[in-house]
Amino acid sequence: MDYRLIKDFIDLLQEFETEIRVCPGLYPETIQGVKAWISDKENAGKEDHSEEPYWEGKENGRTPESAISTLLVHLNRYAKTYSKSAISDSEFSTQEDFIYLINLKVFGEMSKMALIKKNIQDKPVGMLIIARLLRQGLIEQTDSDLDKRSKLIRISERGLIILEKQMEKIRQATNIVAGNLNHKEKMDLIRILNKLDRFHYPIFSRNIHADQLINTVYDEYTFLRN
């Protein structure tokens, strides 16, 4: 056996662990996280011959971070517009209604807070959505076997029927959101958005108070100040 390979792998893991200690949450501490980290390092090392893109206000000194933030807000609004059209003739009130049901269908029953966190929402908003879905009979709740004080919720048979009835339009809406991107562009975008999601989700999960959030993040992530 070539023990140099083992040593090189251990050195690589130590480098990975050092980086995630400096930037916690940037990559999951799993083999998938290690693979994503290695892939990002290799891609970062490749010389990029493509021209820097233009963004509105660039000539006046507008930063790329500002452009990214604005474009993400715009895309979210576009997506909501298409989602609203997809449910215009359904029993769903908002896109969150069917997203909650899709998560329950895919991942199975879970606690209310687990479902709310999966949808990146505050507890009061999430509880209102859950209450509405319960009233409509689209979800059901039962006592947890592990904690009788906790309730588990799952999609009901009626919820499955109503969701399936709208799925074709929902799929059409998601296809429209992806627009005219080709397959490679879609894969590149998924990689970039996954990286951003891995960065933001651990921060969001800490429920840092709004008046402390920005200062806390800037204090902990030094690269943001560079």
Percent residues over pLDDT 70 in the chain: 91
Which run of H or of E encompasses 41? helix 31-45
Say what the pLDDT of residue 50 is: 60
pLDDT greater at residue 9 or residue 197? 197
Say what the pLDDT of residue 2 is: 63
pLDDT greater at residue 219 or residue 5? 219
Contact 34/9 with Cβ under 8 angstroms? no
pLDDT greater at residue 214 or residue 31? 214
Say what the pLDDT of residue 11 is: 80
Longest dimension (CA), the chain: 65
Say what the pLDDT of residue 226 is: 62
Per residue in 48-81, pLDDT tens? 556 788 899 999 999 999 999 999 999 999 999 9
What pTM was estimated for this model as a whole?
Answer: 0.70
CB under 8 A, 24+ apart: contacts of 208-216: none
Mean pLDDT taken over the chain:
86
25 pLDDT band (50/70/90 cuts)? Answer: low
Residues facing residue 151 across a β-bridge: 143
Per residue in 147-185, pLDDT tens? 667 789 999 999 999 999 999 999 999 999 999 988 889
